[in-house]
Amino acid sequence: MAERRPIVGGNWKMNTTRAGAKQLCDSVLRGFTERKIDTEVVLYPPYLWLTDAGDLINASSIKLGAQDGLTEENGAITGGINLTMLSEVIDALLIGHSERRNIFNETADKFSRQLIAASDLGLLRTYCVGEDHTQQETGSTYEVLAEQIGSVFAGEEGEQLSHSIDSNPPSFVIAYEPVWAIGTGLVAQPNDVQDRAEFIRAEISKYCDVSDLIRIQYGGSVNQKNADELAALTDIDGALVGGASLNAEEFLAICEAFSTNSR
């Protein structure tokens, strides 16, 4: 049977001082090694601390990710940081997070370019999807998920994207994050999370032959108390953790909850 290795990401967003970031990395690394956690772990610190974090975790199996990255070539883009630069430091890229969609008005056009470019650079790609409060209230969750998935495969490079996933399924992860659950303390009902993950897997199967091998994370107020219940869901293979990833003990407990859960 197909095996999907659990994967937990820590999205630090725009948090931590330089010293705090080093300390957090160090604590996660120590706990990860001591507890022999058998989960793929990715840390997403702010850009500025990526190299510090990399220096600390490089020798371990913990992966380092960026929260965004431009696909444009080097050139006249003041303030820009592109994936070619980042790829010297990172292993993974977060794409399509609702905060990128809402605060920076980013759309599928950018996400599909990022998904292709990241694959060309050998990076692990996590594509975030999820409905907001109004969409949930009006019953359009499944429509929204289908659109967010379909739109990245619809562009000129859709076929290339499908091929990059089929040829390396573990390099593509979906994070299902209901926007109303992010940072709010509200967690989606486990049976809803399972239904939505199943739906996401079925949608992916329209574009790729390997949907059974694609890992799906749940994100939105995951903490050490609710992690076990989420880890037990058949189609959930990990978590994308925001607030709770800023506390090493809590983050490690979440990683542990998914640790024994290979499918």
Which positions touch ligand PGA (CB under 6 A)?
A: 11, 177, 182-183, 219-222, 240-244
The SS3 call for residue 157 is coil
- Residue number with CB closer to ligand PGA (182 or 255): 182
Q: How far apart are the C-alpha atoms of 31 and 103, rounded to whole Å? A: 34
- Residue number with CB closer to ligand PGA (208 or 253): 253
97 is catalytic: yes
131 is catalytic: no
CB-closest chain residue to ligand PGA: 242
* Cβ-proximal residues to 55 (8 Å cutoff; 6+ apart), any chain: none
- Residue number with CB closer to ligand PGA (169 or 219): 219
User: Cα separations (Å) of 244 from 45, 74, 145, 224, 239?
Assistant: 13, 35, 25, 8, 11
Minimum CB separation of residue 163 from ligand PGA in Å reads: 28
| R_g (Cα) of the chain, nearest Å | 17
Minimum CB separation of residue 194 from ligand PGA in Å reads: 19
Token representation of residue 177: 């994050």
- Active-site residue (options: 97, 131, 203, 256): 97
- Residue number with CB closer to ligand PGA (11 or 119): 11
Minimum CB separation of residue 162 from ligand PGA in Å reads: 25
Minimum CB separation of residue 177 from ligand PGA in Å reads: 6
* Cβ-proximal residues to 17 (8 Å cutoff; 6+ apart), any chain: none
Name the residue with tokens 């998904």.
Answer: 115
Helices 50-57 and 18-34 cross at an angle (nearest 10°) of 20
- Active-site residue (options: 40, 131, 177, 250): 177
- Would you please indicate which residues are annotated as catalytic (active-site) residues? 97, 177
